Structure 1
Amino acid sequence: MQGKSNSRQRVIPDYEFENKKKRVQFTLKLIEGHLHINIARIGSMYPYAKVIFANEVWKSDPSQIGGTKPKWNQIYSFSLSNQEHYKSQYTTSL
């Protein structure tokens, strides 16, 4: 006896696929830094910040104030899918 096959097919709307691909937004606000050593021999140093989050790298503009207490007031947003969110790491450096 041959089994009865179910030939029904379900149409999956596009919005169901979009719901599974939710993006997570991570917003970084870079305000200021406090550096302990001034490495500029002559003049001022103009440091920048470099942030590595998951697979994305962001580099800020050099601080216009410079010196050992730089200020930026810059905002940057990283976006991740749900799968990337659980595997994410971040690294910062000045």
Structure 2
Amino acid sequence: MYWVIYDVSDNKVRTKLIKFCKNYGLSRVQKSAFLGLLSKNKAEMLREEARKVIQEGDCVFFIPACKSCFKDKMIIGTFDEDKFEEKDFKVY
């Protein structure tokens, strides 16, 4: 699981970052924050895409969150936790 949090001033660059995050299956949890299940490899791929579009003065954080750390989160307000749980699937 990864948090992607950014501070980007240019609207076009910000729109590209939003598109990248959504294309990788991340869900927006705040205006400048996405969260979702990504492998380390996918997170690195997303980081490289972001690196190509950000400008001087922009900042993008890619923060891994282990399952046990995420379980210990504290939340004030509403949050759809089901979006971020790994699902077990049976293959027949």
TM over 0.5: no
Q: Which has the higher helix share?
A: 2
Q: Which has the higher contact order (CA 8 A, sep 6+)?
A: 2
Q: TM-score, normalised by structure 2?
A: 0.27
> Normalising to structure 1: TM-score of the pair?
0.27
Larger radius of gyration: 1
More strand by share: 1
